[in-house]
Amino acid sequence: MSAELQAGRHGAPLVIDQVHKRFTQGRRVAHILRGCSLTIGAGEIVALVGESGSGKSTLARTIMKLYTPDEGKLLFGSEDVTHAKGKALRQYRERVQMVFQDPFASLNPAHSIRTILRRSLPPSARHYSERQREDLFDEVLTQVGLTPASNFLQQFPHELSGGQRQRVALARSLAGRPDLVLADEPVSMLDVSLRLGVLNLMLSLNERFGIGYLYITHDLASARYVASRIAVMYAGEIVEEGPAEAIVEEAKHPYTQLLVQAAPDPDRRGLQELDESVFTGEPPDLSREIQGCPFQFRCPHVMEKCYESSPPLKDLGNGQKVKCFLAE
């Protein structure tokens, strides 16, 4: 077992503090992360939900330091990693791993699964014997349901189905036993049964080794299943966060309420039963400055002041925080 890799490690909290990220495309500047703040405690599972294009992957990539924040800070434990370079950056990236959203683009097509896994091992695993390494690979592949592991180790990404690639990507992130895994939609291509298997795996690794997760998903039910806290992103800001239960049962932000209302429910049938009016409207144009609340364009409760200034983050006391004037 790879307890050795884990020995002497203590997870550390990751603090994302008022992070901004802009992209320039020709003359247009798109302001994708707009003062985004979130803390992931050591060994905590936090789910990040929010609509397509809201900036979830950008946030994960920024945490990974694939992008440098234009403003704001990233703290990991006691270290400020906002501008980490060289050795400090390498060490940080050993402890924080990412599972990319698109498993068709993130696995090197020229490498067998064995090579992909071998390359993911941190330097601390370099002294492993061939045997120990194979055992570790066998273990992580079996954990994600790719059996017999010996078959899969020889295969190349193009020989795998979408869901199988997704599980290789997850196995890769686990092989080095990091402190924190940024998992961007890691189970989106898996059916419920396998999905439960992978979610249970995340839970058990969390319990056994204290691995923390930022679990990015569109599936609220699975967010509630694995995460202790859920953060909801809209237009590059966290508009609501809190204990998973509270977010699902007592969402305060109109956008979260919309998400909960639209979540699939096996007991309900037919699209027509959904209130169509909540679907109208588009996400805001991020290449323009937004004055006021970013949800004003779609909000069923929009008020005069929502156009004028952006709502402050209100702490409800139970760990739930909301950015909406209604919560005042």
Partner 1 sequence: MTFSVQDVSVSYPTSRGWVQAVRNVDLQIRPGELVGLAGESGSGKSTLVLAATRVLKAPAVSVTGRVEIMGQDVFAWSDKELRAQRWQTFSFVTQSAMNALNPVMRVRAQMHDAMRAHDPHYQKAKADKRCEEVLRIVEVPAAKLDSYPHQLSGGQRQRMVIALALLLQPQLVIMDEPTTALDVVAQREIIALIRRLQRELGFAVLLITHDLSLLLEVADAVTVMYGGRVMESGRSHELLRKASHPYSRALIHSFPPLHGAMQRQEGIPGTPPDMLNPPLGCPFAARCVMATKECGEQMPPLTRYGDRLVACHHVSEQDFQGAGVIV
Ligand X SMILES: Nc1ncnc2c1ncn2[C@@H]1O[C@H](COP(=O)(O)OP(=O)(O)OP(=O)(O)O)[C@@H](O)[C@H]1O
Classified as helix, coil or strand, 5 is: helix
Q: Is 66 in the site for partner 1 (CB under 8 A)?
A: no
Contacts of 289 (CB under 8 A, 6+ apart): 31
- Answer for the pair 31, 287: CB distance below 8 angstroms, yes or no: yes
- Answer for the pair 184, 214: CB distance below 8 angstroms, yes or no: no
Q: Is 50 in the site for ligand SF4 (CB under 6 A)?
A: no
What distance lies between CA 98 and its chain's CA centroid? 9
Of 219 and 237, the one with the shorter C-beta distance to partner 1 is: 219
Q: How far is the CB of 313 from ligand SF4 (least distance, A)?
A: 11
Contacts of 133 (CB under 8 A, 6+ apart): 118, 121, 125
Q: In the range 233-272, which residues lie near ligand SF4 by CB under 6 A?
A: 253-254
Q: How far is the CB of 297 from ligand SF4 (least distance, A)?
A: 8
Q: How far is the CB of 239 from ligand SF4 (least distance, A)?
A: 7
Rounded to whole angstroms, the Cα distance separating 111 from 281 reads 44
- Answer for the pair 267, 70: CB distance below 8 angstroms, yes or no: no
Residue nearest to ligand X (CB): 163
Residue 124 tokens, joined: 């601390």
Position among 31, 293, 320, 321 found at the interface with ligand SF4 (CB under 6 A): 293
- Please, is 210 exposed, middle or buried when counting C-beta atoms within 10 Å of its C-beta (0-12, 13-18, 19+)? middle
**Helix residue ranges, H only, 210-272:** 220-226, 244-249, 254-262
Q: Is 148 in the site for ligand X (CB under 6 A)?
A: no
Q: Is 62 in the site for ligand X (CB under 6 A)?
A: no
Q: In the range 291-320, which residues lie near partner 1 by CB under 8 A?
A: none
Rounded to whole angstroms, the Cα distance separating 246 from 137 reads 38
Q: In the range 233-292, which residues lie near partner 1 by CB under 8 A?
A: 245, 248-249, 258-260, 262-266, 268-271, 274, 278-279, 282, 285, 287
Q: Is 162 in the site for Mg ion (CB under 5 A)?
A: yes
Q: What is the residue whose two structure tokens read 């691995």?
A: 211
Total interface residues for partner 1 by CB under 8 A: 68
Position among 5, 14, 16, 32 found at the interface with ligand X (CB under 6 A): 32
- Answer for the pair 172, 120: CB distance below 8 angstroms, yes or no: yes
Position among 18, 147, 151, 161 found at the interface with Mg ion (CB under 5 A): 161
Q: Indicate left, alpha or beta for 24 from its phi (over 0: left) and psi (-120 to 50: alpha).
A: beta
Rounded to whole angstroms, the Cα distance separating 3 from 211 reads 12
Q: How far is the CB of 51 from ligand X (least distance, A)?
A: 7
Q: How far is the CB of 60 from Mg ion (least distance, A)?
A: 8
Give φ, ψ of 56 to 5 degrees. -60, -50
Of 115 and 309, the one with the shorter C-beta distance to ligand X is: 115
Q: Is 69 in the site for ligand X (CB under 6 A)?
A: no
> Where does this chain bind ligand X (CB under 6 A)?
23, 25, 30, 32, 52-58, 101, 158-164, 189
> Where does this chain bind partner 1 (CB under 8 A)?
23, 25, 28, 49-53, 57-58, 101-102, 104-105, 145, 147-148, 151, 154, 159, 161-164, 166-167, 185, 188-197, 199-200, 203, 218-222, 224-225, 245, 248-249, 258-260, 262-266, 268-271, 274, 278-279, 282, 285, 287
> Where does this chain bind Mg ion (CB under 5 A)?
57, 101, 161-162
